[in-house]
Structure formats: C-alpha cells, structure tokens
Structure 1
C-alpha cells in the first residue's frame, strides 16, 4: 500500500478497534495482536504497535527514506461493555476473512461507538439486585439475607451511577458503595432483624469487586506488558482499597452506635449445595446481563459459573484452603470458556469474566476487616488470603486458556508479540496478498 490516504485510514481503523478493546478490559497482548493483524491484512507490513494503559500508538514507514505515518489515541473512559466488545470482535473477524472491506469496517466501528444499548437503565439496576442476591445464596444466606443483599446491590448501582455523573474518581464511588452496604447492614442489625449482616456485606463486596481488571492485569504481566500490567494492578488495588475503606468506615459507625456487626459468617457447608450453586449461576448470568452481554450467552455463562462454584465449594470442604480450590475452579472456567465462547459467538473474555464473579474473595476481605476492627492482626492473614484467591482466579483462567486454545503457526508468524492465549480477537489471521 502506497496511497497516503489509505494508509491513514487503515491506521485509524486499527487504532479505533484497539481503543475499544482496551477500554473494555482486553489485555494489551490481545489489543496489540489485533491491531497488528488489521494493519498486516490491509497491506501495511511491519506496522509498529505500542500499547500502554492509557495510550495506543501505531506507526508505519513505507520505506526507510520516506517519512513515517504515526497515529495516537488516549483511553480516557473504561467500562465493562460486552456488547461493544463482541461487536468489534466480529468486525475484525469479518475484515480478516474478507467478508467486508476497509470502508465497511470503518463504518461499522463508528456505528458501534455511537450507538447506545437496547437495555434500559432500570433493567441494569435490577440485574445488580440479582448479582447481590445470587452471591448471598452462594455464601449461605436465607431469603431475608438474599432480599437485603439485593436491595443493597441495586442501591449501590444507583449511587455509583450518580457519582459517575458528578465525574468523581472511581475510588470514591467504591468507598461510597462499601459504606452504603455496611450502613444498610448496621440498620438491619439495629432494628433486630433476624439476619446475619456479615453476609449482606460480603455479597456487596463481591458485587463491588465484579468487573475489575484482575484477569487483564495478570494476562499483561504474563505476556510481557509489564508497564500496562503494573498500571492495571494499581487500578485494581485502588478500587479494592476503596471498598475496604467504605466497609471499615461502616463498621466504625456501627461500633460508635453500639451496633456490633463484626460477625464471622463461617463456612456454609454443603447442606445447601444445590441452592448455593443456583445462586452462583444467577450471579454470573446477572453480571453478564448488566454488562450488556448478548442474550445468547447468558444461559451458558450461568451454567459455567454454577459448575465452577460447585467445584470450588466441594474442594473447599476437603481442607485444601481457599486459594487452590479457587484456582482449580478458575482453571475449569478457562478450559471450557473457549469452547462456550465459540458456541455463543462471543470473545472468551465475556465468558470468563462473568463466570468468575461468584468466586471473588468477598468473604476473606470481610473476615480481614472484621478482625482488624477488633484489633486482631490475624486480619492481615485474611487479607493476604483474599489477594491469593484473586491471583489464583486470574492465573487459573489464563492457564485454562493456554491449555484449551492452541496457538496456530500462522498466528505465531503474524503476531510475534503475542505470548499467551487470546481472550479477544481472531485466533487466526490470513494475510491478504496485494
């Protein structure tokens, strides 16, 4: 390709696709490989792609004695939007299979970026209630705990949406969410409701952790994108610290009012295993729905989330600790996520992120906070356990994808910087001869 205008249009398409993937949680390796595939397929050999946490750059030099073309975009907005992720992934697949041309691809990407969602806000708020209620069932809550957890989750969603409109940093939204849930549990305890408030708070913590970039952060670290990995890990840590600050603030308020809610929910056991697995399936499906996942993927995601939770619960009852059962359950998600995603025609990232939600370490975080509030430094160990569970979940998913998704020879030649499994983007790209 030698036409400067076509070169600019090709680079712009690759850059816009990369921006949408990165802003929706795709790993830097997947974004780099996808952008390189687009440029190579459209005739730009040896285009250079550089991806960091906030910046994407792509450049191309037709010859050593000609000036280089270079475009840069900054990622300023991040969200979990599975619909846009799936649609952009399909555009790339169609482009690389020559189903559409450059102009049609550019038009479709622009349409995806400018089109809203068919799901109304009230439906998203209701889905958050199902996330909270499902997690409450998973950790052994009764019908009253489930109801209060559902109310807390929907209230958190409304509160965080309002704070987002005020353009406050996400850290403060996490603090507000944790504080709201804990104060609601304090109120339930103060009016002598027969409910374990610790279960309500634990369910709310899991909901607040859902959608954070655990998987993307570890994938970047494993695939050599250390700068982006550090930035993602710091973002996850700040969001998690926000939850901790909010919950600890609520516990402090409860203590000042003479309301003791620092109870340890303990292990629920397997006596209610079917109900607990159902809760996990509901939570996974509800999160996928709240993130605008295509309707065809909701039921399969629920099945994967439910089975993974059953694996975790059964293994956790055999004195294997918490990190190993979580890692093995996540390994299962990674193994089946690739196949399920192919059936549902969505990127594997959609399946694994949603299915992993019920396994997030809300219980360990709450235990740690409760112990620290009582000046028991064993709470530090509980916090370390929570971090170990989070790492095990992300590492298990990535390992499952390594096993389930072989890297084709052609993809290896075309995408040299890809050092791990693809969670977004085409698995095989065919270079178009010109």
Structure 2
C-alpha cells in the first residue's frame, strides 16, 4: 500500500511539474508576442503574472528586458526552482496578433480556456497570416506619407511624390529584412531612397520642395521606432528596457541621417542638383487648421492599417486623432507651448482610448499608439542629430531640438498613461491588482474578478463536473 501511495505521489508530482512547465512556456510565449508588438514592460509583466497566477503558479517571478524574457517558479522551499527564458527575435508591430493574444488572456482569466486550449490557440495565432495582404500595407505606408505631406503643408505634388517614395521604401526594406539585415541598414536605405527620389523630382520640370518630400518620408520611417514605449517603461520603473529602447530609437534615427547623407552624395555624383535640405522644413500652408486635422487623422489611420490593426478600429483611431489634434491646436493658440499641447492631446487620447477600445474589442494600446503617431517628436530628433552632426554654431540648436523632443515624448507618454488611469473604472479588487502590477495598463486584463464572481463561476464548474 505504501508503495502504491508513493507511486501515486510521484505521478502527481510529475503531473504538477509538467503543468508548471507548460504554463511557464505559455506565459513566455504570450510575453514575447506582447513585447515584440510594442507593449510596455509593465504590461507584459502584469499579463504574464496574471496568467501564471490563474494556473496556480502563484509564486512565479517574471523578469522582462528588451531582448529576453525569463520566468522562475519554486513550488516549495524543498523543491528545485525551475527557470525558463525566451528571447525576442522579431520586432515587427503586429496589432492583429496583439489583439488575438489579448482576447486569449481574457478567456484564460475567465475560465473560458484551459491550459491546453490556450496553448493550442497560441500556436494558431503564431502560425496564421493576416487579414490584410502585404500589398495593402505598402499602400497604407504610401497613404501615410501622403497625409504627412498634407499635414506639413506641402500640397498635392509633395504628397504624391512622398507616397511613391514611401511605397518604394517599404518594398526595399521588406526585401532587406528578408535577408536579415539589421534595422539600422533598413533605415539607411529608406533615407537614401527618399533623398534620391526628391533629387530626381527636383531636377525635373515639376515644381516641388525636396526638403518637404524628404521630411514626409522621414516621419514615416520614424513612426514605428517605439519612442513612446521607451518613455512608458521609464515612467513605470523599467529603466533597463527603457534605455535599450531609447538607444534603438537613436540608432534608427542615425540610420536615417546616414541614408540622407548617402543620398545627397549619390545625387551630387550623378549630377542631380538637390540644393540644401532643411531638416524638418514645413510648408507655407502648415497653419491651416483643416489641413492639420485631416492630415493627422489620415496618417494615424494609415499607420494603424500598416500595423495590421483590426479594421473595426481604423475609423475610431482617425476620429480620436483628429479631435486630439484639435485640442492640441487650441492649447497652442491660447499661449501654451508645444509640450503642453502634446500633453493635452495625449491625455485626451488616453482618456477616450479605454472606452473606444472596449467598444471595438481591441487593447487600448492599438488605439493609443496610432493616435499618438502624428504628435511624436521624431522630426525634432532628426533635426537635433542633423545639426549636431553639422557642428559649428548649429550644435546649440541641435541640443535644444533634442531637449524639446525628450520633453514632448515624456508629455505624450505621461499624458496617455494619466488618461488611462482616470478612465479605467477600478474597483477595490482591481485597485489591489493594479497596485501590485504597475497599472494602469494599455494591454492585458483591466480588472480582477470579484469574490462573488469567482464563487458563481466555481458553482458553474462544479455543476458541469457533476460534483
């Protein structure tokens, strides 16, 4: 009898170890998908802990860095701790997969999916394609560049040229990415293509400002470098991940500057007179309010399509972005600076993103990030680094532009997070969960089940099992 009991205990221990291993693997795969799609480290940590806690790993420890995820669990002081790690290999923003994973996590936490069903659904999410074909993404980038040209006041010609350049940049970058070139070289290629196309058009009879063409494509190249995620990680205490994301953003911007310089050299070498490019030049029609609102709305919607956001979220993103741009313009007209205007716009986006995301069944991150794109200080970063590279009397202007960019980025990230904090209806149990998990969050569960809800759910499970 003792031998049978020992064998039963060993089998039970082996089954518990197997389930713990499968749970940790599922949590790491969920975290990898969230982190690679631009979610903040606090959101990733909170979501992984929620899933692990739900499946019984209540003492699991989660560590998130920029390129790696680790998770450890020790069931009792007498057991050997288990450590699992997973490296983040791919960093393409994919809001379709992000939304699917978010829905999976909600189903897990409401007991609509057990461990094995969750693992099966996770494998399906990773292996399936997208609702949008790849050529639609190229068109979306072209539309975004054209909208940015309108936003900058460049007119129809600038928008058309910028759209053609954006489509070519996207196809070239996709070909280079398939050959596993680092992202820096993809940015170099993008900057060079934008400059060469601007030079070719400037040498033709077409009347166009090449600086505006290059600026429109630069904003397109800077849209997805994760500057807001870096500031969000800094605000939530993940300084190592924040520093890594900031370095990535600076390297991406440096790649664009190197590409523009390469394009200028090639243009001069083949006899194309490009003239002097003004970093971040704006058109004469920039102060036109309807132009700003339409350009901001279309560019945000196009970026959401290029990031594979669900179709149902595209229109709300455009409307929210237009209203946020209007608020920013009103704040500016009342004598406040650019930082205050960016903060007000971001606060509005964070405030309404929670409600809008709930109605279209997507994480607030899918709404907030595209809506923030027209306000990102990528142009200021480009100006600052360009002026610092030129040296001389422009160094002081470069430092000032970089400080402005940092201030705007902090205002945007803090404004969105503050808006989410005000918007999310936190009950007592949810407040306790948020205090442990660095809330509020842009991805993952927003509230914990109450005691009454857990009791009712337990009764349903007991009834189904015939107890």
Structure 1 segments, 4+ long, off by >6 Å, are: 431-434
**Separation in 1, partners of 2:407, 2:393:** 20
The counterpart of 1:410, out of the listed 403, 425, 429, is 429
Report the CA distance between 1:341 and its aligned residue.
Answer: 0.9
Pick from 321, 324, 330 the counterpart of residue 305 of structure 1: 321
Superposed CA deviations along residues 295-337 of structure 1, whole A, max 9, x for unmatched, are 1101001111122222333444555332322222122211111
* Alpha-carbon distance between aligned partners in 2 of 1:4 and 1:28, rounded to the nearest angstrom: 27
Distance (Å, rounded) in 2 between the aligned partners of 1:367 and 1:318? 26
- Asked whether the equivalents of residues 262 and 370 of structure 1 are also in contact (C-alpha less than 8 Å), the reply is no
Displacement after TM superposition at 1:404 (Å): 2.1
Q: Does 1:17 align with 2:17?
A: no
2:306 alignment partner, one of 290, 314, 320: 290
Q: CA RMSD in A?
A: 2.5
Bigger mean CA deviation after superposition, 138-147 or 186-195 = 186-195
CA apart distance, 1:156 = 1.2
Q: Are 1:349 and 2:368 matched, yes or no?
A: no
Correspondent of 1:146 among 155, 159, 182:
159
Q: Deviation digits for residues 91-116 of structure 1, max 9, x if unmatched?
A: 00011011121111111111001111
Cα distance in 2 between the residues matched to 1:411 and 1:326: 30
Structure 2 counterpart of 1:223: 236
Larger radius of gyration: 2
SS of the equivalent of 1:58 reads strand
Match of 1:334 in 2: 350
Verify the 8 A CA contact 1:371 1:379 in the aligned structure 2. Answer: yes
Q: Flag the structure with higher helix content.
A: 2
Distance 1:100 1:321 in 2: 49
Q: Output aligned runs, 1:240-259, within 5 Å.
A: 240-251=253-264, 258-259=273-274
Aligned to 2:4: none
Q: Are residues 1:260 and 2:275 paired?
A: yes
Say if 2:163 is the partner of 1:157. no
Secondary structure of the corresponding residue to residue 72 of structure 2: strand
Q: Tell me whether 312-321 or 299-308 shows the greater mean CA deviation.
A: 312-321
Residues 135-155 of structure 1 deviation map (CA, whole Å, 9 limit, x = unaligned): 111111211111011111111
Scaled by the length of structure 1, the TM-score of the pair is 0.92
Correspondence for 2:180: 167
CA distance in 2 between partners of 1:93 and 1:36 (Å): 13
Partner of 1:91: 104
CA apart distance, 1:195: 1.3
- Separation in 2, partners of 1:211, 1:115: 23
What runs of 5+ residues in structure 2 fail to find an aligned partner? 1-11, 459-467
Equivalent residues of 2:433, 2:447 under 8 A apart: no
Distance 1:314 1:262, change over 3 A: farther
1:308 touches 1:329 (CA, 8 Å); kept in 2? yes
